Amino acid sequence: MSTARQIDEAYVKTGQVRVVFKNRAVLGPESVWAAEAALCAADQGKFWQYHDKLFENWAGENQGAFSKANLKRFASDLGLDAGAFGSCLDGDKTLTQVKNETQESQARGVHGTPSFFINDELVEGALRFEEFRRVIDSLLR
Q: Cβ of 105: how many Cβ atoms within 10 Å?
A: 20
Q: pLDDT at position 1, please?
A: 63
Element (H, E) at 122: strand 121-124
pLDDT at residue 53 tops 80:
yes
In the chain, the percentage of residues whose pLDDT exceeds 70 is 99
Instruction: Return the closest-CA partner of residue 5 out of 49, 38, 44.
Output: 49
What pLDDT sits at residue 94? 94
Which residue ranges make up each domain of the chain? 3-129
Name the nearest CA neighbour of 25 among 101, 80, 90: 101
Distance between CA atoms of 46 and 50, rounded to whole angstroms? Answer: 6
pTM to 2 decimals?
0.84
- Decide: helix, strand or coil at residue 29: helix
Candidate from 21-25, 36-40, 93-97 with smallest mean pLDDT: 21-25
Mean per-residue pLDDT of the chain? 89
What angle (nearest 5°) sits at the alpha carbon of residue 107, between those of residues 15 and 49?
45
Is 118 in a helix, a strand, or coil? strand
The verdict on domain 3-129 having CATH code 3.20.20.70 is no
In sequence order, what DSSP letters do the residues of 36-82 get, joined into one string? HHHHHHHTTT-HHHHHHHHHHH--STTSSTT-HHHHHHHHHHTT--H
> What is the mean predicted confidence (pLDDT) over 23-52?
92
| Number of residues in the chain | 141
pLDDT in tens, 74-110: 999 999 999 999 999 999 999 999 999 999 999 988 8
**pLDDT at position 84, please?**
98
